[in-house]
Amino acid sequence: MISFVSPEIPEGEELRQASADELDALDRELGEIERKVRDLMCPFEAQLKEIQTQRSVLATERRRRERAMISARRKQVQAAAASGEMLALLDALEKLDLPDDLQLNEVKAFLKTGGQVAFGFATKPGSISFTDGRGAQTAKTWGEARQLFLDGWEPGTASISGVRVHLFGTKVERVVPAGDVTIAP
């Protein structure tokens, strides 16, 4: 390992007593040592920069693959929804025989466009509101939701029809028509 010896810099009173020429000489000597060290560091800095660039290329490839997987998954959901393999929420409430005690936050739901969603508010997930036009009730299990639907209640509230969902794993939420939500059996 190459090492350079720095000149002794006087301290305290001795530094205050040094002449301007002595300070200039110390500064020139330190500057020369700094230049030599920087010259020696150049190849390592270039190598570090190349390694950082290569890691950036790898990160970009990972993101590209992740986007491709998400896109393929969305296309599968869209195809399954179009083929009838996945039922729209209202059809599923009528026909799909899921356990009555199944919590709604455990039901795999998707928009027809392919994005996975969860029922309810992002901060309070796992519920669907139903209305009879005058009042509202909230279902937290598949059995409660199914019973309310079979009793003639519709998803939504008296003033807003539809199902409140949030994009799975995010806080992005909205109310969508019940026909736009599909259920994975």
Q: What angle do CA 108, 112, 117 make, to 5 degrees?
A: 35
- Domain contains 7: no
> Does one domain contain both 73 and 91?
no
The residue out of 66, 81, 96 marking a domain boundary is 81
Amino acid present at 56:
S
Residues of the chain with pLDDT under 50: none
Q: Which range marks the domain in which residue 130 is found?
A: 86-183
pTM: 0.61
**Which residue in 5, 58, 10, 72 sits closest to 36, CA to CA?**
5
The residue out of 65, 81, 97 marking a domain boundary is 81
Total domains present in the chain: 2
Write out pLDDT tens, residues 33-77.
Answer: 899 888 889 899 999 999 999 999 999 999 999 999 988 888 887
pLDDT of residue 86: 83
> Does one domain contain both 47 and 112?
no
> Does one domain contain both 123 and 139?
yes
